[in-house]
Amino acid sequence: MSTAVQVSADELRDAGTRIFTACGVPPDDAWLVADSLVQADLWGHQSHGVLRVGWYVDRLRAGVMNAETKCEIVAGSGAVATLDGHDGIGQVVAAHAAEEAIGRAKRHGVGVVAVRNSNHFGTAAYFTRMAPPRGCVGILTTNSSPAMAPWGGRGKLVGSNPWSIAAPVDADRQMVLDIANTGVARGKIYLARNHGTEIPDGWAVNAEGLPTRNPEEALLGTVLPMAGHKGYGISVMMDVLSGVLSGSGFGSAVHGPYQAEHPGRSGHLYLALDIAAFSPVQEFGERMTALVAELKSGSREGAEEVRYPGEIEDLAEARNARDGLLLPERTLTDLRKVADSLGVDALGER
């Protein structure tokens, strides 16, 4: 099993920013990408954290992802727009889409932005969480490179196609769901490989279609859907919203961050709902608070308190920001190698 190493979020964020800037990414965009990855680590989702820096760098160096992201509105009016990311960095494109959708929602009650020709954007919650402070509910869907077989079929043809919803509870709290439609995100298998641990039963099958607990074998096979045929069906429909509707790639035409030969052609759909257009904002807050209280009333005596969606991530962020992050030694070693290859001074030896 790999040794865990403690590192501060600020140090990681600075290292990521330096690395991406060295690849030609404008400083503000470089910080955004680094912050999104470190935030995933803070939330306890290391599968979507700085583990991914090297993959993004490979894609930037190969030219299949553009260092300078140029977003363009190519269709739509009023509450609706289609945004072309022109193979830019997924996080930058998604942030543009969020701002565009939220702005339209504040004018029209709802804002809907379809995105084409984007890339992997890390954790979807980073972008849906942008909506509640502006008085909106944020909904984001995306497609991703094929990771699982169609239900009853074989071969990688369907992506995990994650989606997220974020709504305000009060001035300080948000209720946030961020899930993939596979039983587990593919990045968690890479993380298990970095930790040198086996994966649980039910995560994946090997190239022969047989169950495996070996992460290396799982990466050569396919990830299993969540909830059987239901996860498969939801994933396909998310591809309809993200890829087909937006005019972007869909199915096998989407290429993920794990390779540097093809443009991503990922598509997204961002919906922002202005709460004030539906009901008084104070009333919405009271109803959300009542919902949280009802959920927590189901806590069992002697057991851990029931958590609403997103609360575990908030608790993890507070703990990790205070105590520092514990990351696999391999993850930090890989990060240093990327920095060294770019002539960047980041994350000195420990």
Q: Where does a domain end: 263, 278, 293? A: 278
The reply to whether 108 falls in a domain is yes
Higher pLDDT, 100 or 202: 100
Q: Is the per-residue pLDDT at 152 higher than 90?
A: no
CA-wise closest residue to 51 among 29, 63, 32, 34: 34
Domain that holds residue 54: 1-62+324-349
pLDDT tens-digit readout, 274-310: 999 999 999 999 999 999 999 999 999 899 999 999 9
Residues 261 and 337 in one domain: no
pLDDT above 70 for 348: no
Whether residue 191 sits in one domain with residue 93:
no
In a domain, 136, yes or no: yes
How far apart CA 160 and CA 55 sit, in angstroms, is 18
> Are 203 and 269 found together in one domain?
no
Residue 350 has pLDDT above 70, yes or no: no
Whether pTM exceeds 0.85: yes
Residue 229: the pLDDT is 94
168 plus 56 within the same structural domain:
no
Do 34 and 109 have their domain in common?
A: no
The dihedral built from the CA positions of residue 43, 222, 120 and 334, taken in this order, carries a sign that is positive
* 203 Cβ contact partners less than 8 Å away, ≥ 6 residues apart: 183, 184, 188, 189, 218, 223, 224
Q: Number of structural domains, the chain?
A: 3
pLDDT value at 171 more than 50:
yes
Comparing 5-19, 105-119, 193-207, the range with the smallest average pLDDT is: 193-207
- Round the average pLDDT of the chain to a whole number and report it: 95
Q: Please report where in the chains the tokens 């057991």 appear, as a residue.
A: 303
Q: Is 248 inside any structural domain?
A: yes
Residue 34, domain member (yes or no): yes
> What distance in Å separates the CA atoms of residue 100 and residue 274, rounded to the nearest whole number?
13
| Residues 266 and 337 occupy one common structural domain | no
Confidence of residue 349 (pLDDT cuts 50, 70, 90): low
pLDDT in tens, 206-259: 888 888 999 999 888 888 999 999 999 999 999 999 999 999 999 999 999 999
Share of the chain above pLDDT 70, in %: 99
pLDDT of residue 21: 98
Tens-digit pLDDT profile for residues 314-324: 999 999 999 99
